[in-house]
Structure 1
């Protein structure tokens, strides 16, 4: 099992991958919402080819059946996705699994699936999506790391280059970012900053 990179950007289209993978991203997630099944499949196929080309680990959010069919090797699931996902089928294909957690019950449940990483969020307030969870804070990151032990811990939610070191210091192995890159006036320069601080 290769060690996961410490920087984990999430994108909603392969246009971002085409643009930013050449800069040296080694771990990324494709999180596609509100597109037709055919469009999602086309994006997964394209994303897989791009990540193969640039030596980047691609994680598919949510679409586990399609990920199996297209022979992807890493899936991320939220807690609600776990209700419907066929974990046995996913594991039978040797597919790695990353899981979201927000509270102790979710953490206990997630650990029972022996995931490749656990994500905790939102660490800071996030504008990405409406959540019933308030910000978790850095103390929670430290608490979570003690509970998960050797399982890599991803800090997500409101993360920025400026906040990344605090999350690493608190115990996060990996820091994930979305809008800090996609809403930045110069995403390429921002990626370079992320790569500098995470390595």
Structure 2
């Protein structure tokens, strides 16, 4: 197949999916994000379906590692079905290498519906929101003082006692294990820092593991360790932390949910109360919030309102 024919396949993908994945944010419409086309990365294969998808996905604003992951999946989809179908966005786990893992090596399970998920800065906040009925809470305590971290994690574990809240500890996995926390949450960079041996220590302890992801390549990487849940974000722009990737938007979120259905999924990043119904409509079982709770004039009232929005 020549270059013109491959470009025609790429244009067919863009034609069928451009309105979904490359839509620009209309003025005043807050449930969309603005994305820009990306350079086409160097090709690693020569098959037409792969080359066409690599071009198309780059044009549809997917960064290089995600365009590559999608192009590989599109090629596998074509091989599996014996046809190139520009209308079918890849969403079969087999085409992303997400099948065939060993269940015995998976982390401990947690509910598919983690519900409202509060990400909180201190043990005091953890206890406050747990008592307010928030079903899943995370302590995101930033400190290089190991003794201070151990005290705060231990206090957070004590703070949820007598409530039904599930407590995850961000990053500080050893302190979480020492204190008996329900789970640990880590980012992509932490997977390298922790290492296989420490991940195995967490897994064999029965502690749950959540992993942040920001696109297709990171979801595939997270799957390799078979965590308890996967977080998908940032869905919308957020000023809470500097993000290495652009906001994902609802269309990508929905595509990620279709692909990663085998996991409990948490949507995070810039999600305000009015966006809860649209986010929940993608199929995620949990919505994580930070500022919607800690910046609220009445955090308990805000928690009650968000809990109702989870049902909408």
TM-score (norm. length: structure 1) = 0.94
SS in 1 for 2:168: strand
Measure the CA separation in 1 of the matches of 2:218 and 2:210: 13
Among 125, 132, 135, the residue aligned to 1:23: 132
Corresponding residue for 2:175? Answer: 66
SS in 1 for 2:169: strand
Q: Which has the larger radius of gyration?
A: 2
Measure the CA separation in 1 of the matches of 2:114 and 2:269: 18
Count of matched residue positions in the alignment of Structure 1 and Structure 2: 199
Q: How far does residue 5 in structure 1 lie from its aligned partner after superposition? A: 2.7
Corresponding residue for 2:105? Answer: none
Measure the CA separation in 1 of the matches of 2:213 and 2:117: 16
Contact map agreement 1:141 1:171 (CA 8 A) in 2: no
Q: How far does residue 73 in structure 1 lie from its aligned partner after superposition? A: 3.0
Q: How far does residue 34 in structure 1 lie from its aligned partner after superposition? A: 2.9
Corresponding residue for 1:129? Answer: 241
Measure the CA separation in 2 of the matches of 1:17 and 1:88: 27
Task: Please report the RMSD computed on the Cα atoms of aligned residues, expressed in angstroms.
Answer: 1.4
Unaligned runs of 5+ in 1: none
Higher relative CO (Cα under 8 Å, sequence separation at least 6) belongs to 1
Corresponding residue for 1:191? Answer: 303
Measure the CA separation in 2 of the matches of 1:39 and 1:29: 17
For residues 103-118 of structure 1, the aligned pairs below 5 Å read: 103-118=215-230
After superposing the two structures, state which structure 1 stretch, 33-42 or 119-128, moved more. Answer: 33-42
By percentage of residues, which structure has more strand? 1
TM-score (norm. length: structure 2) = 0.61
